[in-house]
Structure 1
Amino acid sequence: MNQIPVYTFAKWQVKEGQLDTVLTLLAEVAEKSKKEKGNIFYKVHQSNSNANTLILFEGYSDATAVEEHRNSEYFQNLVLGKIIPNLESREVILASELNLDRTL
């Protein structure tokens, strides 16, 4: 079976005054995500120019692992139920790495 890793890039714009709440919840999400069987990594970045802008960079073994992550009880409860209401906006991009070392 050929598994193609899937990477998630998410940009979260946190509502003013809600950063501490979001970061506390996100720490729990990150801890649980890293324990998932299909998780390769889970990294959170903060913009240097706007502290309320967070960038999440996640790696999963394949599309099934991403689906399992999104369907997990903690994701549904923490991300969808508690974090998203504290965001002004949220953009999520799923991507697979390109091999640019092809011979023409």
Structure 2
Amino acid sequence: MIGIATRAGQQGNGTMANVHILAILYSKPGKEEDLRRDLTTICNASSREDGNIRYELHEDANDQRRFVIIEQWNDAAAQEKHHNQSNHIRLFHDNGDRNVERREIVCFLKPVA
């Protein structure tokens, strides 16, 4: 996940639950292509990491500056390793983050139904 602290979740039976995350980033004006490229690189690398179930990048159909990332991990440990130890995430923070105007929302989701 891009630039937010992690949280672990447990199911009621004490076993570790999958981690579901929704993140929305908004690009700086004129930096849409650069951010799209950087986020596509992150998405491709993250989807190959151990413990990843789903890592998708979407663009708002009505606003090309808004990007939505949907993540699902086997457990909190896999997500934390991704966030804290992945080279591609570190490179984004060092370089690609300059194309982000704001992070609109980052949600750790709990399945309901």
Query: For this structure pair, what is the TM-score category when the shorter chain's length is used for normalisation?
Result: 0.7 to 0.9
Number of the residue aligned with 1:53: 66
Residues 22 and 69 in structure 2, CA contact (< 8 A), matched pair in contact too: yes
Which residue of 1 is the match for residue 80 of structure 2? 67
Whose helix fraction is larger, Structure 1's or Structure 2's? 1
Runs of 4+ aligned structure 1 residues displaced above 3 Å come to: none
The structure with the largest alpha-carbon Rg is 1
Structure 2 letter corresponding to 1:83: G
Which of 91, 98, 105 is 1:77 aligned to? Answer: 91
Matched position secondary structure for 1:4? coil
User: Which ranges in structure 1 are unaligned for 5 or more consecutive residues?
Assistant: none
Partner of 1:87: 100
How far, CA to CA, are the matches of 1:10 and 1:54 in structure 2? Answer: 8
Identity over aligned residues, as a percent?
A: 24
Could you tell me how far 1:7 is from its partner in structure 2?
0.8
CA offset digits 1:41-95 (Å, max 9, x no partner): 11111112211001110111111111011011221112x1222221111132122
Q: How many residues align?
A: 98
Q: Which runs of 5+ in 2 are unaligned?
A: 1-13
- 1-structure distance, mates of 2:57, 2:95: 18
Secondary structure of 2:63's aligned partner: coil
